[in-house]
Structure 1
Amino acid sequence: MHEAAPTGVKDLFPARKVLRHSVRGQVLDALRAALVDGELAPGEIYSGPALGERFGVSATPVREAMQQLALEGAVECLPNRGFRVLSRTPRAMAELAEVRALLEVPVVLRLARTVPAQAWAELRPAAAAAAEAAEAGDPAGYADADRAFHRELLSLGGNEQLVSVAQGLHRRSQWPLPGVPRVRRAELVAAAAEHTALLEALIAGDLPLVEQVLRSHFGTA
């Protein structure tokens, strides 16, 4: 069985402006957004020079960004050919949701017993940012805001290692499944509303409701 030829990038997804400072970081952000939006298709092979041409940069920062994505489990490196976007399965996504719930639910429930209401209330702007991206129907923007909300939530525990692990799992859970249509605005809005519901339950000190909302958010209720 022959390998598929590397896919060109022209017209596959919109050009994203790459600033000259911190080129690698800008390219990495653009590629991550393209993954979330489904513009980089699972199973397809992309070459560094072709992507570099698309972004208006050399192939070097593209390869560096792709190597970071390989470490995150999003792509695999194919020597002398480029990078293949890895396919995900419904089972893998369900397993990620389960692991995230096992990690985050007990931590948030523990924090709910000690963190004052005012500290939870200070997370409302993060929840509002996610809601704004959801209302705009922007999956990539929502993905960033969603991770930021959960990062702020878990950071109240002061365990940086836990936050780092949770963020990595969260990012992997945001890559779409092959062949699944772009996430709908209504789905984003519903997910964002759960952030607000969670904060209100935390502010009220309603632990049963906190757990219920969290498990629903992770799809493990």
Structure 2
Amino acid sequence: MADPKARRLLSAQEHLRDRVANALRAALIAGELRPGVIYSAPTLAADFGVSATPVREAMLDLAREGLVEAVRNKGFRITEMTEADLDEYTEIRALTEIPTIGRVTRTASREQLEALRPAAEEIVTAARDHDLIGYLEADRRFHLAVLALAGNRHLVTVVDDLRKRSRLYGLTELDLDGRLVDSAREHVELLDVMLTGDADAAMEVMRRHLHHVRSLWAAEQHGEPQQESALRLGGSR
């Protein structure tokens, strides 16, 4: 049996790794970590106030999600995405998610759909609280839970991976000018329309939602990085 002390140490290390990964995601969302730029683990570790090891581990997690790429003997480069990439991501999401929303609207029970309401409302709450990481996590859980009702686990896996690679841009700008809450409410709207059983209307709401997401990507691609630091993390080396 493993040593309980060793298990506790491993758990603490994993927790720190997760916290660093979330802080890095926050920096990506805020635009502080810019596409194409190479960042070293020791430099980021100094910003976070931790050792380089959890930063490297967290960066490897982000590399598996396609958010960064390792550069031998230098560090990690933030993945760049072109307008063509963003168009292709949007097209794939439209081809998979819009018809699936229609299918789920026609086949899911009212109880199954109502079970999604806490996640939809959590997205709105996170937006009101200016919690961008919480917003993204709730957004991910809501969309994947909706798709899961179609009964195709492979589709859920593919969309989850796609969402990680495409990541939402422009959330900081939306949050600063007060529009993030309006965007968040689209999830509640989608759920309410699905509960009416109108598959065509639900697909139209989803189509509009994806259009808004693509617009956010474009705005961030051409926008300026935020000045307020997102590289903050509690804890010690």
Query: Structure 1 length as normaliser, TM-score?
Result: 0.81
Is 1:206 aligned with 2:198? yes
> Aligned equivalents of 1:159 and 1:57: distance in 2?
41
**Residue correspondence of structure 1 range 172-187 to structure 2 within 5 A:** 172-176=165-169, 182-185=172-175, 186-187=178-179
Q: Deviations over 1:147-182 (max 9, x none)?
A: 111122112233332212111212233243xxx793
Structure 2 residue identity aligned to 1:85: I
Q: Displacement, 1:204?
A: 0.8
Corresponding residue of 1:108 = 101
> Aligned equivalents of 2:193 and 2:101: distance in 1?
12
Q: Which of 36, 46, 62 in structure 1 is aligned with 2:39?
A: 46
> Aligned equivalents of 2:161 and 2:171: distance in 1?
24
Q: Displacement, 1:117?
A: 1.4
SS at 1:39 equivalent? coil
Segments of structure 2 that go 5 or more residues without pairing to the other structure are 1-10, 215-237
Corresponding residue of 1:127 = 120
Relative distance call for 1:68 and 1:218 in structure 2 (3 A) is same
> Aligned equivalents of 1:29 and 1:149: distance in 2?
19
Contact 1:126 1:148 in 2 (8 A): yes
Structure 1 residue identity aligned to 2:180: L
> Aligned equivalents of 2:145 and 2:41: distance in 1?
34
> Aligned equivalents of 2:152 and 2:137: distance in 1?
21
- The CA RMSD measured in Å over matched residues stands at 2.3
Counting helix residues as a fraction of each chain, which structure ranks higher?
2
SS at 2:107 equivalent? coil
Corresponding residue of 1:118 = 111
SS at 1:57 equivalent? coil
Q: Which of 164, 177, 194 in structure 1 is aligned with 2:186?
A: 194
Provide the aligned length of Structure 1 versus Structure 2: 200
Structure 2 residue identity aligned to 1:135: R
Q: Displacement, 1:143?
A: 1.6
Q: Which of 25, 28, 50 in structure 1 is aligned with 2:21?
A: 28
Relative distance call for 1:205 and 1:98 in structure 2 (3 A) is same
Contact 2:103 2:199 in 1 (8 A): no
Q: Displacement, 1:119?
A: 1.2
Corresponding residue of 2:156 = 163
Q: Which of 120, 140, 151 in structure 1 is aligned with 2:144?
A: 151
SS at 1:76 equivalent? strand
Segments of structure 1 that go 5 or more residues without pairing to the other structure are 1-18
> Aligned equivalents of 2:164 and 2:64: distance in 1?
12
> Aligned equivalents of 2:12 and 2:124: distance in 1?
31
Q: Displacement, 1:21?
A: 4.3
> Aligned equivalents of 1:203 and 1:99: distance in 2?
25
Contact 1:35 1:175 in 2 (8 A): no
SS at 1:219 equivalent? helix
> Aligned equivalents of 1:182 and 1:45: distance in 2?
22
Query: Structure 2 length as normaliser, TM-score?
Result: 0.76
> Aligned equivalents of 2:203 and 2:190: distance in 1?
9
Corresponding residue of 1:5 = none
Corresponding residue of 2:218 = none
Contact 2:13 2:54 in 1 (8 A): no
